[in-house]
Amino acid sequence: MKPLGYRSVTVLDGFWKQTREKNARISLMNVYRRFEETGRFSALDCVKRDPPPHIFFDSDVAKWLEAAAYLYHDYPDGEIKNIIDKSVNAIAAAQLPNGYYNSYYQVYKKDKIFAERMEHELYCAGHLIEAAVALFEAGLGDKLLLVMRKYADYIHERFYVARDPLFTTCGHPEIELALVRLFECTNERKYLTLAEFFLNERGKKPEYVYPFFDSTYDQSHMPVREQTEAVGHAVRALYLYIAMAEAGRISKDSPLLKAAERLFDNIVNQKMYVTGGTGSNYFGERFTAPYDLPNEYAYAETCSAIALAFFCESLAKAENKAKYHDVFERVLYNNLLAGQSADGKGFFYTNPLETNISHLKFAREVKGYPYQPIVERVEVFDCSCCPPNFIRFVGRIGDCIYGEENDRAYIHQYISSEANIGKLKIKMNSGFPYDGEVKIVAEGTGALGTRVPPWCDKLTCTVNGKSVTPETSDGYLMFEVKGMCEILLNFNMRPRFIYSNENVSQNCGRKAVEYGPLVLCAEGVDNGNNLRNIVIPSTEHAKVCRDGIFSVTIPAERLHTSDALYSYRPPEKEKIELKLIPYFLWANRGETDMQIWFM
């Protein structure tokens, strides 16, 4: 399946245009300012400073440049352009004659270049390559692309030809997917060869991992083709799996692609939060045991949500299946969107599915207490990978909407937009995520498939005003367009219970409430704290409110006990009206309890 790139799609008025605009007008410059204050941009010139930059500052800047590239066409801005140019010029000027560039190593640890496997050197290179491709493809010049090709050539020479570095594969995958992308942009086969070399060498022999972790941490515990269970650091894992899917597709390397598909199935069948989050523990930010999905101490990093969404896209390119877009949708409207505050300035690194402020306050007072998530978004982190990653994702949101396979046009995501696919001109107006009505006007001749979201159990459809029951195939409604065709779809969004697998010990006896693609949550600020005691008998009398913040109010019960710590008297039920809001909008009104799974 060939997806339609974001540059061929015009996002129209609606939820996503607003979100993209907020990211273009507020978030991008705000993140830039925080990065500038923290020395991330100034480090690019490779002049020695005290304190030195962090080893992964280059990747933060790279993702920012990539985000700027995606947003520039629709939101041109002189200041942004100047920052792009200044940054690219700084990198180009500081690049070593042999092609190497790293604002930390070449300045502070020149003797350790390509010697420290876990220190993100090739990871930074990968993100700079992605930025270079994005700037070039956005028409913002080929200067960084030339710089990064030279660097990639140098990596190829050292790692693939000479094989003289002190490690073979990078401790944080990213270079692999970036090289595939560079190959697709330049058609230079050696980049693909190098990507495949890194993929194939991983796990073949023991390589250095942080001494406090084992080799599952960075997926170097066995050859990637043999891997069947998603393990270790979730972002590392997903970046690796993306590269496997991409290289597997391009090289028609079926075992490699199958391994990626197996890992995807393992994640979505055993290791993914209902929000699309991955990573169940702060220790190693990692996948844990099958079905181990603690809510209060979930890691579910924003970057791993973004990575899982990219992984869905990569797999769909190899073979289009509705399930990839279903998971993409779950990730997108829940864990991923939760990564940013409503005002566009703050970001979450981790995304718990439940908070208990009393536990949090205790942990804050106790020196060295192992872990509590932050429960209000901040503008910058020491390890600030998520903010620019979020903006670049939103910048290229147009990428996920349409695709083409075997002469059939596909609509995967319902985002208001227009585009030409094959012989069809399509204009879509969508109420998603708050309303299930979608109007698609298609002009031309051809087959069109539109995905039926998995939460939709009742669908209405009219074509040119006539009620029809379209054929479905593999999760898509199938239409034949001739001339002008107005398709009205209603996916019948309403509050529905969703249940976890019986093996998810944390959610037994509980259910979450979804509305269309949205997972809903309750906050203490609306409902009082101590949400664990709330029972929702039914969604039957739920009321949807679209004034102000979207919310759903459901008759529910609160279980009350006496003051005793233990009692033989069963709790008594108090009738309440439970107010739920989209999970992605939580934590915008101060510190408060939050919960997704209810009795």
Cβ proximity to its own copies: between 291 and 381 the closer is 291
Cβ proximity to its own copies: between 39 and 290 the closer is 290
Q: Is 386 a catalytic residue?
A: no
Q: Which of 475, 571, 573, 591 binds its own copies (CB under 8 A)?
A: 571
Cβ proximity to its own copies: between 383 and 508 the closer is 508
Cβ proximity to its own copies: between 18 and 538 the closer is 538
360 φψ region: left (φ > 0), alpha (ψ -120 to 50), beta (else)? alpha
What contacts 377, CB < 8 A, 6 or more positions away? 340, 341, 345, 346, 347, 348, 587
168 φψ region: left (φ > 0), alpha (ψ -120 to 50), beta (else)? alpha
With the C-alpha atoms ordered 478, 479, 480, 481, is the resulting torsion angle positive or negative? negative
Cβ proximity to its own copies: between 58 and 285 the closer is 285
Rounded Cα distance, 30 and 35, in Å: 9
Q: Which of 213, 262, 418, 478 binds its own copies (CB under 8 A)?
A: 213
Q: Which of 455, 491, 550, 583 binds its own copies (CB under 8 A)?
A: 455
Rounded Cα distance, 236 and 125, in Å: 15
Rounded Cα distance, 404 and 411, in Å: 9
Which among 124, 185, 385, 521 is annotated as catalytic? 385
Give the CA count within 13 Å in the CB-facing half-sphere of 224: 33
Q: Is 456 a catalytic residue?
A: no
- 282-300 residues labelled b (16+ CB within 10 A) or e (exposed): bebbbbbeebebbbbbbbb
Question: In angstroms, what is the minimal distance from the CB of 481 to its own copies?
Answer: 31
Which 493-552 residues touch its own copies, going by CB under 8 A?
496-505, 508-511, 530, 532-533, 535
Beta strand pairing status for 437-451 and 408-411? parallel
Cβ proximity to its own copies: between 48 and 458 the closer is 458
Candidate segments 35-43, 210-218, 403-411, 548-556, binder of its own copies by CB under 8 A: 210-218
Output phi, psi for 60, to 5 deg: -65, -45
User: What six digits make up the tokens of 11?
Assistant: 């996002």
Q: Which of 163, 343, 561, 590 binds its own copies (CB under 8 A)?
A: 561
Cβ proximity to its own copies: between 548 and 570 the closer is 570
Cβ proximity to its own copies: between 314 and 372 the closer is 372
350 φψ region: left (φ > 0), alpha (ψ -120 to 50), beta (else)? beta
Question: In angstroms, what is the minimal distance from the CB of 348 to its own copies?
Answer: 22
Rounded Cα distance, 526 and 3, in Å: 41
Q: Which residues pair with 488 in a beta bridge?
A: 439, 462
Which residue carries 């898509």 as its tokens? Answer: 476
With the C-alpha atoms ordered 561, 562, 567, 570, is the resulting torsion angle positive or negative? negative
Residue 288 touches its own copies, criterion: CB under 8 A: yes
Question: In angstroms, what is the minimal distance from the CB of 508 to its own copies?
Answer: 4
With the C-alpha atoms ordered 76, 80, 82, 84, is the resulting torsion angle positive or negative? negative
Candidate segments 20-28, 148-156, 286-294, 458-466, binder of its own copies by CB under 8 A: 286-294
Q: Which of 52, 290, 446, 555 binds its own copies (CB under 8 A)?
A: 290
Residues 561, 591 contacting (CB under 8 angstroms)? no
Residue 322 touches its own copies, criterion: CB under 8 A: no
Q: Which of 13, 319, 376, 457 binds its own copies (CB under 8 A)?
A: 457
Closest CA relative to residue 421, chosen from 400, 442, 398:
442
- 581-590 residues labelled b (16+ CB within 10 A) or e (exposed): bbbbbbbbee
Question: In angstroms, what is the minimal distance from the CB of 86 to its own copies?
Answer: 42
Candidate segments 86-94, 186-194, 213-221, 237-245, binder of its own copies by CB under 8 A: 213-221
Closest CA relative to residue 476, chosen from 295, 249, 321:
321
Question: In angstroms, what is the minimal distance from the CB of 295 to its own copies?
Answer: 10
Cis peptide before 51 (omega within 30 of 0): yes
Residue 359 touches its own copies, criterion: CB under 8 A: yes
Q: Which of 126, 171, 277, 284 binds its own copies (CB under 8 A)?
A: 284
Question: In angstroms, what is the minimal distance from the CB of 433 to its own copies?
Answer: 17
- Coil, strand or helix: which one is 441? strand
Strand ranges in 423-465 using DSSP code E only, listed in sequence order: 424-430, 437-451, 460-463
Residue 458 touches its own copies, criterion: CB under 8 A: no
Question: In angstroms, what is the minimal distance from the CB of 386 to its own copies?
Answer: 23
Which among 285, 329, 523, 557 is annotated as catalytic? 285
- Coil, strand or helix: which one is 483? strand
Cβ proximity to its own copies: between 466 and 569 the closer is 569
Residue 206 touches its own copies, criterion: CB under 8 A: no
Cβ proximity to its own copies: between 189 and 367 the closer is 367
User: What six digits make up the tokens of 349?
Assistant: 């690194």
Candidate segments 141-149, 266-274, 409-417, 425-433, binder of its own copies by CB under 8 A: 266-274
Q: Which of 19, 356, 384, 539 binds its own copies (CB under 8 A)?
A: 356
Residue count, binding to its own copies (CB under 8 A): 62
Q: Which of 358, 445, 473, 538 binds its own copies (CB under 8 A)?
A: 358
Give the active site residues: 285, 385
Applying CB under 8 A, the residues found at the interface with its own copies are: 212-214, 216, 268-270, 272, 274, 283-284, 286, 288-292, 356, 358-359, 361-362, 365-370, 455, 457, 496-505, 508-511, 530, 532-533, 535, 559-571, 599
